[in-house]
Amino acid sequence: MSTLRVTTITTPSGGQPTIDGLAKAWVNFNGTGTVAIRASFNVSSITDNGTGNYTVNFTTAMPDANYAFSGSAAAQYTNGLTLYLGQDSNDTRSTTQLNFVTLYNNASTVGPDDSPNVNVAVFR
């Protein structure tokens, strides 16, 4: 049996290959203080737009803005808050970037909050 080992697969034009079911982009980053990417794929940078509001900038554009995203965020305090990702009608979703917020929910209030550990995956 032969083994094929490669570091990067790209299309002839240098873009991402189209393989259904695989993440087209993902990122793990620190969303508190100075925002910093820990690890990523097809993410050129993260923009901190304010408390709990982030933009993920793609290295290679998506074919259209009809992608799905999923993620998780860790609460920065040990007060039992649940933190999750959200997007509203004011957030930007384009072929080159995704804007979202990390929100806390303490059973009586929902609001934006920075997270020390944000993880986002984009599928198309």
Q: What is the pLDDT of residues 28-66, one digit of tens each?
A: 999 999 999 999 999 999 999 999 899 999 999 999 999
Residue 75's pLDDT is 77
- Domain total for the chain? 1
pTM higher than the cut 0.75: yes
DSSP-assigned beta bridge partners for residue 84: 103
Residue 18 lies in a domain: no
pLDDT at 56: 95
CB neighbour list of residue 93: distance below 8 Å, 6 or more residues apart: 65, 67, 87, 99
- Helix (H) or strand (E) holding 6, with range, is none
- How would DSSP label each residue in 23-35? EEEEEEEE-SSS-
Confidence at residue 77, expressed as pLDDT on a 0 to 100 scale? 67
Within-domain flag for 29: yes
pLDDT at 121: 95
**Domain of 68?**
23-123
Within a domain: 4: no
User: Is residue 61 one of the residues assigned to a domain?
Assistant: yes
